[in-house]
Amino acid sequence: MKILDIYILKRFLFTFFFVVLLIVSIIVVIDFTEKNEDFAKLTLKYIVEEYYFNFAPYIANMISPLMIFIAAVFVTSRMSSHSELVAILSSGVSFRRILVPFIIGSAFIGVISFCLGGWIIPRANKTRIAFENNHTRQKFNFEGKNIHFKVAPNTYAYFFGYNNEANIGYQFTLETIEGTRLISKLKSDKIEWDSTKSKWRIINYTIRTIKEHGKEEIKQGASVDSLINLSPKDFQSNYLLHETFNMGELESYINLLKERGTENIEVYLTEKYERYTYPFSMVILTVIGVIVSAKKSREGTGYKIAFGFVLAFIYIIFVMMSRNLSYFGGVGPLLAAWIPNILFSGIGYVMYKTIPK
């Protein structure tokens, strides 16, 4: 790298980390103010260690694409207002060459963001979200009725109701079906989770087995322990559950939902694909930020930064719209995750072609 590249890269990275630190500090103060009443009975050490040490990295990573855009706008507009860009271009350096240190810096931050979002932050989110469920949100009660699960390729479980505090299911049925033929059916008044054995205890059960030529075999019992591809976690709150999985856990959970025949898995698929798009969005937004701020104008740096915030706001709208299209609009999660980057790549390309070089 040349001296010019190092100069630009240092300013760009310093500005990015400073802006992230500033915005995260403001958000933490606002969040503490809003939740002050919920924290009344908790010690400051417990709040900081269990919540804010995990909340701050989560927010930092979430706002990184926008903050890297603002950093690119700020650094480039400052260089433009001080006629540094004019001097660099006049010396024979192409505009494309000026973009190189910005792209290197954004790619470096993108890789860090991918690693954080894929493995480190999900671990922190487990603690953060558990804290929120225990102290800042209403206690969760499972209220579902007539609950169906596919627990094996040919086996289906049914609960009329479930008490998530006692981990007890009522009017339980377990059916094994091959094609359109019922092989066996278990009916039970109650099923409860035995935490010491990590098994389900089926109480007052009746097993009806259909044999050849329509013959039936009926077996009854007071209780029996059984391993079923279900756990109490399946009946707990799924509030931000997708944010608590690292990449491996997320992939495994998606496969589990597919095996059970669950229909609404778009949230988890979108989360998976968005994590891969983060590094690319950082590079795209950085390039657009540099292009937006390269021209020297009478309005000064403040105008360009304000314009940058407008573009960042538009980007957020596209991200939210693409998620809704994935959840409710019938657009595939993979395409929905890439829509904002595809659109802004097109915008960046058009802007690049129109800028004087």
**Predicted local distance difference test score (pLDDT) of residue 180:** 86
Confidence check: pLDDT of 123 > 90? yes
Calculate helix-pair angle for 53-81, 266-294, nearest 10 degrees.
Answer: 20
DSSP β-bridge partners for residue 221: 205
| Helix or strand holding residue 86 (H, E) | helix 84-90
Q: Which two tokens stand for residue 5?
A: 């590249």
More confident residue, 328 or 130: 130
Residue 201 CA, distance from chain mean position = 35
If one compares 274 and 212, the residue with the highest pLDDT of the two is 274
Q: Name 175's bridge partners.
A: 156, 185
Asked if 55 contacts 130 with a C-beta cutoff of 8 angstroms, the reply is no
Please tell me the least confidently modeled range out of 39-48, 54-63, 201-210, 255-264.
255-264
Mean pLDDT of 42-65: 96
Structure tokens at 77: 């507009």
CA torsion through residues 88, 92, 94, 95, sign? positive
pLDDT in tens, 284-304: 999 999 998 887 666 666 777
pLDDT at 353 over 90: no
What's the mean pLDDT in 50-55?
A: 97
Those residues whose C-beta lies under 8 Å from the C-beta of residue 264, and which sit 6 or more positions away, are none
Whole-angstrom distance, CA of residue 117 vs CA of residue 123:
10
Q: Band of the pLDDT at 357, cuts 50, 70, 90?
A: low
pLDDT at position 300 is 65
Whole-number pLDDT of residue 306: 78
Listed residue (207, 226, 222) closest to 152, CA to CA: 226
Instruction: Give this prediction's pTM.
Output: 0.90
Q: Where are the beta strands (DSSP E) in the chain?
A: 147-152, 155-159, 161-163, 168-178, 181-194, 199-210, 216-226
Which pLDDT score, from 0 to 100, does residue 299 have? 65
For the cut 90, the answer to whether the pLDDT of residue 246 exceeds it is yes
- 66 near 286, Cβ under 8 Å? no
**How many percent of the chain have pLDDT more than 90?**
71
- What amino acid is encoded at 14 in this protein? F
Residue appearing with tokens 């579902």: 144
Question: What domains, with CATH codes, occur in the chain?
Answer: 3-137+264-354 (no CATH), 147-236 (2.30.30)
- Residue 234 and residue 191 in contact, taking contact as beta carbons nearer than 8 Å: no
Task: Find out whether 101 and 8 touch, Cβ atoms under 8 Å.
Answer: yes
| pLDDT(243) > 80 | yes
Which two three-digit tokens encode residue 86?
């004019």
pLDDT given at position 140:
92
**What band does 28 get if pLDDT is binned at 50, 70 and 90?**
very high
Residue 355 above 80 pLDDT? no
In the prediction, which pLDDT does 297 show?
Answer: 66
Average pLDDT, the chain: 92
Asked if pLDDT for residue 33 goes beyond 90, the answer is yes
**Using an 8 Å Cβ cutoff, are 169 and 152 in contact?**
no
What's the rounded Cα separation, in Å, for the pair 45 and 9? 37
For residue 38, what are the contacts with CB-CB under 8 A and spacing of at least 6?
A: 135, 136
Q: Check residue 1 and give its pLDDT.
A: 62
Handedness of CA 329, 332, 333, 336 (dihedral sign): negative
Report yes or no: 74 and 11 within 8 Å, Cβ to Cβ. Answer: no
